[in-house]
Amino acid sequence: MASTMDSVDYVQWFKTYMSAHADLFPESVDEVWVSSMAQVAVQIVKVECPGAQARWRRGKLTEPTLGYVVSCMIARVAMFKLRKTESNGVYQRTDYEPLETPPQFTPSPDLFLKKSEKSLLDGVGNGKSAIGSVPIGLGRVLEVPS
């Protein structure tokens, strides 16, 4: 396991997780591009999932899990690159071949974390408590009517 979240080999994890979907990515997706996108993606993870760093230090967040989430973030941007629009000011042409994309890979021009990915990284489920903990049930008692 890498010592820090920044030192993980995200290019290798991208190759591992996305090899089954290689036909969905344009030729411009190379190791240099994946590496540069991974650097930004990790910073987004650190900002949007503050619990992820603490879980990483304690060994609760594994390298395969982090690699998977970062790979999914990068894959969404890579697939968006297939949809190009060119214009000369008068005419507009869009290269768009309808592709069946897996549901977790909704193409996007931006790196972002889905709600389920944030929960996975922070170790918090939909109930907003740590995975493996039991809620005490005060939510229904303290609920304020609207």
pLDDT tens by residue, 73-100: 988 888 776 665 556 666 665 655 555 5
Using the 8-state DSSP alphabet, how is residue 124 labeled? B
In a domain, 146, yes or no: no
CA distance 135 to 82: 45
For 93, the enclosing helix (H) or strand (E) is strand 92-95
More confident residue, 107 or 33: 33
pLDDT exceeds cutoff 90 at 65: yes
In the beta sheet, which residues pair with residue 95?
Answer: 84
Domain that holds residue 15: 5-141
Q: Which of 73, 97, 72, 69 is nearest to 83 (CA)?
A: 97
Which pLDDT value is given to residue 64?
93
pLDDT tier at 102, thresholds 50, 70, 90: low
As for how many domains the chain has, the answer is 1
In a domain, 110, yes or no: yes
Please answer whether residues 113 and 73 qualify as being in contact, where contact means their C-beta atoms are separated by less than 8 angstroms: yes
pTM > 0.95: no
pLDDT exceeds cutoff 60 at 66: yes
In a domain, 118, yes or no: yes
More confident residue, 91 or 143: 91
In a domain, 38, yes or no: yes
Q: What is the pLDDT of residues 16-64, one digit of tens each?
A: 888 877 776 767 678 898 899 999 999 999 999 988 999 999 999 999 9
Which pLDDT value is given to residue 91?
64
Decide: residue 86, CB within 10 A, 0-12 exposed, 13-18 middle, 19+ buried.
exposed
From residue 21, alpha-carbon distances to 32, 106, 120 in Å are 19, 13, 22
In a domain, 109, yes or no: yes
pLDDT exceeds cutoff 90 at 103: no
Which pLDDT value is given to residue 33?
87
Please answer whether residues 105 and 79 qualify as being in contact, where contact means their C-beta atoms are separated by less than 8 angstroms: yes
Which pLDDT value is given to residue 20?
77
